[in-house]
Amino acid sequence: MAAKEILLKAETRNEVGTKCAAKLRSQKKIPAIVYGHKQQPTAIAIDQHAFAEGLHHGHRLFDVDIDGKTEKLLIKSVQHDYLGSTIIHADFLRVDLSEKVKVEVPVNYKGVPAGKQEGGILESHLDKLEVECAVVEIPATIDVSVKAMKVGESIFAKDVVLPAGVKLLTNPETLLIACFVPTAAPAEEAAETGEEPTSPEVITERKPKEGEEESEDKK
């Protein structure tokens, strides 16, 4: 299902640079730039909480009210702080609803694999797929069921069923997720069998026997 648009309030800004960005973030706002459609880039500031909330719910397309004028903007990129927890900057693209765009969409793995009964666990290798579609058809997420997965089975990008109108751009042979039984470490195996793990023999210099040292000194 395509993600619904969400309305963001924004304001243009004339100041740019590190000091301006720090000031905006202290006001719970995010500095952002709007590009595209043969127009000059526009520096704006958006509400940090509203934008983060929209991203959390899978939104990629936003209705952005910039000083009273609403534009449809697509997220181009998002930058986080060094901890990866706080958004510090965003770039947007102006879009036409009829045009096709290339975007990365989060993968949502659903269900419990059948291989769990055999001791299997899941290992995820990819959490996003790159696709191409019309702006209005951008999925919020791409759901992938893992219920039928047995031990030793994997799901590749080519196995994913995409919504109508959505074209896969990620390499079809890319591994998404695998089900396997973890191999026990040597110490764990030894504990299960009751055997002590073998350690390499430590070779030390031979100590002279009592009396040998004295005889050497007398020579």
Per-residue pLDDT of the chain (219 residues; tens, 9 = 90+): 555 567 888 999 887 778 888 888 888 899 999 998 778 899 999 999 999 988 888 788 899 999 888 988 998 899 988 888 888 999 999 988 888 888 899 999 999 999 998 888 999 999 999 999 998 888 888 999 999 999 999 999 999 999 999 999 999 999 999 999 988 655 555 555 555 555 555 444 555 554 544 444 544
Residues of the chain with CATH 2.170.120.20: 98-193
| 3-class SS of residue 155 | strand
The predicted pLDDT at position 140 comes to 84
**Is the torsion defined by CA of 46, 50, 54, 55 positive or negative?**
positive
The predicted pLDDT at position 132 comes to 95
Number of residues assigned to the chain: 219
The predicted pLDDT at position 206 comes to 52
Whether pTM > 0.95 for this model: the answer is: no
Helix ranges (DSSP H) in the chain = 18-26, 48-56, 186-193, 212-218
Superfamily, domain 1-95? Ribosomal Protein L25; Chain P (2.40.240.10)
Provide CATH code, domain 98-193.
Answer: 2.170.120.20
Smallest CA-to-CA distance from 75 within 57, 52, 59, 96 is with: 59
**Distances from the Cα of 61 to the Cαs of 43, 136, 161, in angstroms?**
18, 8, 22
Residues of the chain with CATH 2.40.240.10: 1-95
